[in-house]
Amino acid sequence: MKRLTTLLPVLAVLIAAIGFINFFAFFVTSTRAGGSALSGYVANDHYFLNEKGTYIEVSQALWERQRLHEQSILITHPLAMLAMAYLVRGFATGQKI
C-alpha cells in the first residue's frame, strides 16, 4: 500500500504532462494541417479538413493522422484533468503527495 501511495503522485504528474503535451501538439498540428478531420469529411476518395466552415482537401495520410490525433485528445485530455484534480486535491487538503 505504501508503494502505491508514493507511485500515484508520480503517475498523476506523468499523465497530466502527457495530456497537456498532446493537447498543445494537437493545436500546432491542426493549425499547420489546416483544420479538423473529425469535423471534416471524405467524399469519393477525397479527404477534407474543416476549419471554421472552410474545407481544405488534403492527402489521405494527413487526414488519417489528424483524425487519430484528434481521437487521442478525447482520451488524454480527460485523463490529464483527472490527474490534475488528484494533485490539486492533495495540495488543497494538505495531504502529503
Asked whether residue 59 is assigned to any structural domain, the reply reads yes
Q: Which domain holds residue 45?
A: 13-90
Residue 46's pLDDT band, with cuts at 50, 70 and 90, is very high
Asked whether residue 84 is assigned to any structural domain, the reply reads yes
Could you tell me what percent of the chain has a pLDDT over 90? 71
Asked whether residue 5 is assigned to any structural domain, the reply reads no
Asked whether residue 20 is assigned to any structural domain, the reply reads yes
Asked whether residue 38 is assigned to any structural domain, the reply reads yes
Q: Residue 40: is it exposed, middle or buried by C-beta count within 10 angstroms (0-12/13-18/19+)?
A: buried
| Structural domains of the chain, count | 1
Q: What is the pLDDT of residue 8?
A: 87
Mean pLDDT of the chain: 90
Asked whether residue 73 is assigned to any structural domain, the reply reads yes
User: Is pLDDT of 51 > 80?
Assistant: yes
Q: Where are the beta strands (DSSP E) in the chain?
A: 36-43, 46-51, 54-58
